[in-house]
Structure 1
Amino acid sequence: MQEEDFTESTSRPSKTKKKEAMHELRDLGAELVELSVGQLKKIKLPEEIYDAVRECQKITAHGAHRRQVAYLGKLMRNVDDEPIRAGLALLRGESSAEVARIHRLERMRQRLIDDEGALPELLALWPGLDMQQLRQLRRNALKEQEGNKPPKSFRAIFQLLQEQDGKPAPEAAETDDE
């Protein structure tokens, strides 16, 4: 009979586990408060969570800020936190998909620097790409490498590719309008 009582008590979470889960949600809320408005919009938070985060960002008094973070943690108990965690991981670059995307863009940039023949491939991938700007950045990057100068254009190529990769494909944009 005592064994049955023991198995029943382990089926539900202990008070300690519940408190740990609440503290994790509070810490997740505190992490959201540290983000910029643009980063918050990328995560696509529920309206009430977004409003609470923005309100907490405005509060400067330590005690009030702490209470608002606790309130934010309480609000987060009612929503699914997995999309929020995934969005934060994506922003931090911890997502394996995001890491793979960045590596792919770096390989494209290096192929472009090594061989100008990669330009048509990039144009086929992103029809809206400004070829003249990309050629100019490539020439400048090669000059920077020869002169042992800081890789300003090298970085600019990556940023340009990243902007293009972040935009939806023209076909996808047309289907959204319909």
Structure 2
Amino acid sequence: MNKKVVEVVEDEISKSQIKRDAEALKLVGRELVALNKKQLAQIPASESLFHAISVAHKISGKHEALRRQIQYIGKVLRTEDIDVIQTALDKLNNKHQQLTHATQNLELLRDQLIELGDNKVEQLLVEYPQLDRQKLRQLVRQANKEKKLEKPAKAAKDLFTYLKPICL
């Protein structure tokens, strides 16, 4: 009963892992092909990748040709920095969530301005010097007055609309 012992080198990547990695790159390639030219301009990649994507855009109605082109894009992606490309894709895909988060932060800033008054106004003016000090203080005072009198928050809405184009 003579058995051979085969040592497995831990640095070796299995054939299955290589196939999974290639399939993941093809999925990223599909995402890139689905983007329009304006969105593609925001992706940091090489000219060869952009050329392969533009060829894929020209292929229409030919399922097998498009599949082969996406496979080629996956091959080109092996030489690219995939983490940077994936981060850029995530940013493009999550624009709505980012806008929602920024709007929530702006609402919080507005509430802090109303609560803290002139101290917060001064801090905000340091951060955003293009804001008009007089208008900002006037809107904050009006919002405070409406809050104390329990009136509808018209000035708070005006303050939000004043801050939105500058602070977003």
TM-score bracket relative to the smaller structure: 0.5 to 0.7
Which residue of structure 1 lines up, in the alignment, with residue 109 of structure 2?
A: 111
Which residue of structure 2 lines up, in the alignment, with residue 24 of structure 1?
A: 24
SS at the partner of 1:52? helix
Aligned length: 147
Contact 2:33 2:57 in 1 (8 A): yes
Task: Give the TM-score normalised by structure 1.
Answer: 0.59
CA–CA separation in structure 2 for the residues paired with 1:49 and 1:155? 42
Structure with the greater relative contact order (CA < 8 A, sep ≥ 6): 1 or 2?
2
**Greater CA radius of gyration, 1 or 2?**
2
Overall identity of the aligned pairs, in %: 23
Structure 2, unaligned stretches of length 5 or more? 144-151
Compared CA separation, residues 36 and 2, structure 1 to 2 (3 A): same
Which residue of structure 1 lines up, in the alignment, with residue 14 of structure 2?
A: 14
SS at the partner of 1:2? coil
Contact 2:110 2:160 in 1 (8 A): no
CA–CA separation in structure 2 for the residues paired with 1:54 and 1:131? 47
Tell me which amino acid in the other structure corresponds to 2:55.
Answer: E
Contact 1:105 1:161 in 2 (8 A): no
Are 1:42 and 2:42 matched, yes or no? yes
Contact 1:29 1:73 in 2 (8 A): yes
CA–CA separation in structure 2 for the residues paired with 1:112 and 1:55? 49
Bigger helix share: 1
Contact 1:112 1:119 in 2 (8 A): no
Tell me which amino acid in the other structure corresponds to 1:47.
Answer: E
CA–CA separation in structure 2 for the residues paired with 1:50 and 1:71? 12
CA–CA separation in structure 2 for the residues paired with 1:22 and 1:111? 46
CA–CA separation in structure 2 for the residues paired with 1:2 and 1:52? 48
SS at the partner of 2:79? coil
1:23-102 aligned within 5 A: 23-63=23-63, 64-93=65-94
Contact 1:33 1:56 in 2 (8 A): yes
Compared CA separation, residues 46 and 104, structure 1 to 2 (3 A): same
Tell me which amino acid in the other structure corresponds to 1:41.
Answer: A
